[in-house]
Amino acid sequence: MKTLRRLLRYVRPHVGALVTAYVCMIVLAATGAVFALLAGPLLKFVFTGDLHDMIYDSRGQLRTGWDLLPPAAIESLNGLADVLWFVPVLIVVSTVIQGIAQTGQFFLLGRMAQSILIALRRDAFGAMLRLSPRFYNTTAHGDLLSRLTSDAAQVEQLVFYGLAPLLRDSLAVVVLLALCFVMDAKLALVTFVVVPLAVLPIVRFARWLKRVSRRGQAAQGAINAVCYEALAGIRVVQAFANEAHEEQRLEKAARKYYGEMLVSYFIRAVRTPTMETLGLSALAVLLAYLAREVRLNQADPAHFISFFVAIVLMYDPLKKLGNTSDFLAAGSAAAERIFEIVDLTPDIRDAAGARALPPFSDAVRFENVSFDYVGTPVLAGVTLDVPKGQMVALVGPSGSGKTTMANLVPRFYDVTQGRLSIDGIDVRELELASLRRQVSVVSQDTFLFNTSVADNIAYGSPNATPEQVRAAAKAAYAEEFIDKLPKGYETVIGERGVTLSGGQRQRLAIARALLRDAPLLVLDEATSALDVESERYVQEALDVLMRGRTSLVIAHRLSTVRRASLICVLKEGKIIERGTHETLIGAAGEYARLYAMQFDDKEPSEASSAARPS
């Protein structure tokens, strides 16, 4: 119920439509009651053709409903010369009114359900976008996609096929029950005892189904996660001939989902005959009682026929309420999974009183910075200044903490100890948006969107003109291959830029950073995965990009950082050496060793002489 109450908050903006739809439901329930009320008298009228039999019972008293009309109206009906047209017209008018009400409530509730779906997806997706990389490092992307798609669709069905019928059909039951009490209070009391017996299994089955539905949706998320991973890494899967292994993973996840669905189908299968058995048993008892009353007490058959029709009409909405429990149970479980994401508090967020970062003017400073990841030390007491306009390179073996330092600048993570500041301001005191507007990141794993070349270049600069996009592409040495694409800048490049080579993707990423024109630049091994020719193009583009900017460069190929103002060598989370290329080669330390390993395993002294200009 807590989840359903929370969903009602999404209904509030649509109260007007809901009220109008509810009015339509009242009309629907009323027309249903009218049909029940007229059923017995109409049947009698068919055999006698006497309107008097429709208006008066066998004792000469006005039937239920007719007594609400003024005496003048009754007299006018009694004085009709030809009454044969009256009943058909009454039926047609009632049917038209019922049809208009049905159309109105269906359309209004459908529109409301879609609007709620949009709002719920927006809130969930917005929450996901605000979560830091730390969350995504431990969460399956396929499961998140499942929450945005299949779970959200379940919530839509909850609103349209769950909450709406809950209002409509429960209203129909209440109106028909009220009609029964008006027609015959004694019989209605008997009926009122029977109805809860039919409602009780609905509640029981709904609770059981909700638990199973939540487990089923989690299993569906696991299936999506397996499929997402396998398809995203299809080249690795095929390269290792691991198709059978991935099929087994999917089979295992699907079998778990299959088991939960079997339980769900069993609940639905048992529920329907259980409800029908209870309902039809109650109707059989009621029918026997009514027949006895007609035979022994000379009761008006038309009166009891109307009463019995009201009970029969009540059975259908009760059965629908049972089906509604399916959508309520599955939708509630799905909503809980979505709200789990909406309720997550981002670990990286604006602090109270956070301020905007003024235009960068001085330096980025790591002040005795330490960082732990899930209890594992990654950085330990790192102190480093990156002055404005200079290029500082970070080198060292894998796992030494280079990428972690780069990730701290745009505040993808927060330091565990120490302080990272820009122009003397702790980055934790800055507005995230203003900080990241002044930082551009180009990494080895370039991400491009499944849209046009121009849209990818302008991703960080949505107001850029086509001329500015072209200028950035030209400066990044990307124009020469863009012009050869089928539609030039309007060519759609596929998911993650799959239609382009690695070097072409990197040049588009550099063009994107050039167009954004941020003063701070983070390059994370931007050329490490490229062939020699592609590296030459990309390196020339990077030289253009770094011109006049403050750059923190992570490099695996040491030849790309020889011109850096400062080179820092990291090992086990600490800076063990720092200096220019020449001074570090001359020191014959860790940097010289790494450099020698990349150049034909020369001795440090040989590498030193080879690196110095003649």
Domains annotated for the chain, with CATH where assigned, are 2-220+261-342 (1.20.1560.10), 354-437+566-609 (3.40.50.300)
Q: In terms of pLDDT, which residue wins out, 339 or 548? A: 339
Does position 364 have pLDDT exceeding 90, yes or no? yes
For the ranges 157-161, 247-251, 319-323, the lowest mean pLDDT is seen at 319-323
Of 304, 364, 382, residue with least CA distance to 39: 304
What's the token pair of residue 588? 């014959």
Number of Cα atoms under 13 Å in the Cβ half of residue 183: 31
The whole-number pLDDT of residue 587 equals: 92
Contact between residue 520 and residue 549 where contact means Cβ atoms under 8 Å apart: yes
Q: How much is the average pLDDT of 609-613?
A: 39
Question: Measured at the alpha carbon of residue 314, what is the angle toward residues 195 and 333, in degrees to the nearest 5?
Answer: 70
Q: What tens digit of pLDDT does each residue of 117-130 get?
A: 889 989 998 898 88
- At 606, the pLDDT band (50, 70, 90 cuts) reads very low
The whole-number pLDDT of residue 81 equals: 42
The whole-number pLDDT of residue 191 equals: 67
Contact between residue 276 and residue 198 where contact means Cβ atoms under 8 Å apart: no
Q: What tens digit of pLDDT does each residue of 404-431 get?
A: 999 999 999 999 999 999 999 999 999 9
CA distance 576 to 560: 20
CA distance 395 to 124: 39
Does position 230 have pLDDT exceeding 80, yes or no? no
Of 437, 434, 441, 376, residue with least CA distance to 408: 441
The whole-number pLDDT of residue 603 equals: 43
State the DSSP code for 360: P
Contact between residue 366 and residue 570 where contact means Cβ atoms under 8 Å apart: no
Q: Does this model's pTM top 0.85?
A: no
Q: In terms of pLDDT, which residue wins out, 373 or 427? A: 427
For the ranges 266-270, 496-500, 599-603, the lowest mean pLDDT is seen at 599-603
Mean pLDDT for all residues in the chain: 81
- At 197, the pLDDT band (50, 70, 90 cuts) reads low
Number of Cα atoms under 13 Å in the Cβ half of residue 419: 10
For the ranges 52-66, 118-132, 356-370, 572-586, the lowest mean pLDDT is seen at 52-66
> Radius of gyration over alpha carbons of the chain, in Å?
37
In sequence order, what are the residues at sequence separation of 6 or more whose Cβ sits closer than 8 angstroms to the Cβ of residue 322?
201, 202, 205, 271, 272, 275
The whole-number pLDDT of residue 567 equals: 94
What is the distance of C-alpha 162 from the center of its chain?
A: 20
Contact between residue 185 and residue 372 where contact means Cβ atoms under 8 Å apart: no
The whole-number pLDDT of residue 142 equals: 81
The whole-number pLDDT of residue 573 equals: 93
Q: What tens digit of pLDDT does each residue of 51-105 get?
A: 566 666 656 566 666 666 666 666 666 555 455 566 677 778 888 998 999 899 9
Q: Which of 22-26, 222-226, 236-240, 273-277 has the highest mean pLDDT?
A: 22-26
CA distance 569 to 589: 10
CA distance 533 to 527: 11
Tell me the residue type at 327. F
